[in-house]
């Protein structure tokens, strides 16, 4: 029978073996976990040349059909719808020269339509010209003629006033220049804008168009300006 000293020695050895086993197992588990947490290799990108060609073909087909549809709208007498179709196609392919050219042609046709001629009396205030303009729809104005600007009364060193938009000079518009204003349905006027010798204008409001020259209150101007209006107009 082993001595008591031998028994103690055997017990110590058995304890060390049992205690070391979980530690070794834990270390092996950690090594396995580290191996499993490695980042996966990136998948190589596939060649998309075929897909790119299909995408280009799809865009070309859409633009071509949009052009054909726009022509049909024009033949039916709906240039605004034709322009809307082309604008949507241009958003997909903004570099297409044929779309730009066709849109420019339609815009010019629109600006030349609905022609109206009116006379503006230089001595009067704001005068309605019998047309309604629409927000976002451009119109064109061509102005001919001249008039005599005469200012009555005394002018102080402070100069000419720019207070009341209904009677006085409008700030930011040259003195004597022809200008316009849009009066909305609630009878509130928008911001006056310069017309001068003419040009293309895109209204910010919908309403009746009024014209007058930018002259100070009390002026006694004489003469008339002949104004030709066209484009996005309707009677009103």
What's phi and psi for 92, nearest 5 deg?
Answer: -80, -40
Per-residue pLDDT, averaged over 183-187, amounts to: 92
Is the CA virtual torsion 36, 42, 46, 51 positive or negative?
positive
The pLDDT of residue 193 is above 60: yes
Strands 127-133 and 233-235: antiparallel
Q: What is the pLDDT of residue 213?
A: 95
Q: Write down the pTM of the prediction.
A: 0.66
The pLDDT of residue 64 is above 70: yes
Specify the DSSP class assigned to residue 47.
P
Kindly report the CA angle at 206 between 201 and 209, in degrees rounded to 5? 65
Residues 6+ positions from 184 with CB-CB distance below 8 Å: 190, 205, 206, 207
The CA dihedral of 196, 201, 203, 208, to the nearest 10 degrees, is: 60
Q: What is the pLDDT of residues 158-182, one digit of tens each?
A: 666 555 555 578 889 999 999 999 9
Q: What is the pLDDT of residues 122-162, one digit of tens each?
A: 999 999 999 999 999 999 999 999 999 887 666 677 666 55
Strands (E), the chain: 116-121, 127-133, 139-144, 147-148, 178-183, 193-194, 198-201, 207-213, 222-231, 233-235
The pLDDT of residue 45 is above 70: yes
Q: How confident is the model at residue 31 (pLDDT cuts 50, 70, 90)?
A: low
Domains of the chain and any CATH numbers: 54-112 (no CATH), 116-148+162-235 (2.60.120.430)
Q: What is the pLDDT of residues 18-29, one digit of tens each?
A: 444 444 444 555
């Amino acid at each position: 029978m082993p001595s008591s000293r031998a028994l103690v020695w055997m017990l110590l050895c058995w304890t060390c073996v049992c205690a070391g086993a979980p530690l070794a197992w834990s270390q092996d588990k950690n090594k396995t976990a580290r191996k499993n947490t490695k980042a996966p290799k990136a998948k190589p990108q596939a060649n998309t040349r075929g897909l790119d060609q299909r995408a280009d073909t799809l865009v070309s087909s859409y633009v071509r059909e949009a052009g054909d549809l726009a022509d049909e709208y024009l033949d039916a007498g709906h240039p605004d719808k034709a322009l809307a179709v082309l604008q949507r196609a241009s958003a997909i392919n903004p570099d297409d020269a044929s779309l730009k050219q066709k849109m420019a042609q339609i815009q010019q046709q629109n600006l030349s339509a609905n022609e109206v001629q009116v006379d503006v009396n230089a001595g009067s205030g704001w005068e309605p010209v019998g047309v309604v303009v629409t927000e976002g729809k451009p119109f064109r104005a061509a102005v001919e003629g001249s008039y005599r600007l005469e200012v009555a009364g005394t002018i102080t060193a402070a100069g000419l006033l720019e207070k009341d938009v209904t009677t006085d000079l409008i700030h930011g518009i040259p003195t004597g220049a022809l200008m316009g204003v849009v009066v909305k349905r609630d009878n509130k006027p928008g911001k006056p804008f310069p017309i001068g010798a003419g040009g293309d204008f895109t209204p910010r409001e919908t309403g009746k168009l009024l014209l007058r020259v930018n002259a100070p209150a009390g002026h006694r101007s004489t003469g008339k300006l002949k104004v030709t209006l066209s484009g996005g107009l309707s009677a009103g």
